[in-house]
Amino acid sequence: MELTTVWFALIAILWAGYFLLEGFDFGVGILLPVLGRSNRERRLLINTIGPVWDGNEVWLLVAGGATFAAFPEWYATLFSGFYLPLLLILVALILRGVAFEYRGKRDDDAWRRRWDYCITGGSLVPALLWGVAFGNIVRGVRIDADHEYVGGLFALLNPYALLGGLTTLTLFTLHGAVFLALKTDGEMRGRAGRLAARLGGPAVLVAGGFLLWTAIAHHDVAGWLLSAAAAAALVGAVVATRARREGWAFLATGATLVLAVFALFVTLFPDVMPSSIAAANSLTVHNAASTPYTLKVMTWVAVAFTPIVLAYQGWTYWVFRKRLTAERIPA
């Protein structure tokens, strides 16, 4: 197998890991004003992701760095063409990170409320815009012969991409609700479980419609199979949620996100950024890749350090695995 294909697959795995892990803490942030009825309950929700949210963002940094090193043409076209949406995501993530650190610096309800708004907005905006971005990448954008994006901002706001944004938003919110039902106990556990059960139906409709549209538009057999598996996992998540089987429900929502990302990347291959102007203008794993020597060095670095990172993050989740309750949080 060519190293260009290997690195395309590795980038797909990194994005799948990012959606799996960051997806639930985006969901927790979105649900902060919905499930958190008091400051103590909002602190409980934040504490469920407090030890892991910043570690989850490492997957995004590595995915971006791997794209820059392995496919510099893809990186350049993507970040120049999608500059404003990616800037909005960056600003939202910065505000969200600052809010986690600063909301407790003053004993003032108005102070905390403002930072809570930043947490919710900083979670909602990326949850929506990541789906819009990936929807446009899979659909194809206006790339000219010089591999430069020549479309405007409103060209990115097409129905398919907007449906992709709604898909990631609903899936992340459902994933977050299931995570809270798994991570908390007492009244919050029941409240989060009931909300997850109500979110299941809309998530199936929105995500199922997006995956079906993708499969019909591209006629890719592997994409069809992965999309069907993602849809089946989502239905399983709804069933497990209504049966109050939080562990199985979380595994199912996680599998839905991972399989959906794989379906999009398989559908995309061998392109990395197709052109809607002419197929000859498309960026592929071949014309967007770095030199073979660069890819070879990157592969050895990844083989050496990836197990260490995975082991450390797995250890973090193991240490903070116990359920939390509002009663254990000081007034």
Task: Name residue 287's amino acid.
Answer: N
Reported as type and span, the H/E element at residue 146 is none
Q: What is the pLDDT of residue 29?
A: 94
Q: Which two tokens stand for residue 233?
A: 């996992």
- Judged against a pLDDT cut of 90, whether residue 250 lies above it is answered with yes
Q: What is the pLDDT of residue 1?
A: 62
Cα gap 196→286, rounded to integer Å = 43
- Judged against a pLDDT cut of 80, whether residue 328 lies above it is answered with no
First to last CA, the chain: 58
Using CA atoms of 191, 120, 237, 215 in order, give the dihedral in degrees to the nearest 10: 160
State mean pLDDT over 31-58.
90
pLDDT in tens, 82-105: 888 999 999 999 999 999 999 888
- Neighbouring CB atoms inside 10 A of 331's CB total 4
Task: Name residue 285's amino acid.
Answer: V
Assign residue 244 a region (left: φ > 0; alpha: ψ between -120 and 50; beta: otherwise). left
* Beta strands 271-273; 283-284: pairing state: antiparallel
- Residues 147, 149, 151, 157, CA torsion sign: positive
Least Cα distance to 19 among 117, 163, 139, 164 occurs for 164
State mean pLDDT over 295-318.
89
Residue extents of the structural domains in the chain: 25-158+165-186+268-328
- Output the CA–CA distances (angstroms, integers) from residue 129 to 133, 265, 266, 277, in the order listed: 6, 18, 21, 23
Number of H helices, E strands in the chain: 13, 2
State mean pLDDT over 221-241.
91
State mean pLDDT over 196-223.
89
pTM (global) more than 0.85: yes
Q: Which two tokens stand for residue 30?
A: 């979105």
Task: Name residue 240's amino acid.
Answer: A
Three-state secondary-structure class, residue 271: strand
Task: Name residue 277's amino acid.
Answer: I
Residue 328 phi, psi (nearest 5): -85, -5
pLDDT in tens, 153-202: 888 889 999 999 999 999 999 999 999 999 998 889 999 999 999 999 99
Using CA atoms of 141, 143, 149, 155 in order, give the dihedral in degrees to the nearest 10: -30
pLDDT in tens, 103-131: 888 888 888 999 999 999 999 999 999 99
What's the chain's average pLDDT?
90
Q: What is the pLDDT of residue 137?
A: 92
Q: Which two tokens stand for residue 302?
A: 């990844």
Say what percent of the chain tops pLDDT 70.
Answer: 100
Q: What is the pLDDT of residue 55?
A: 86
Q: What is the pLDDT of residue 131?
A: 94
Cα gap 171→261, rounded to integer Å = 12
215 falls in which pLDDT band (50, 70, 90)? confident
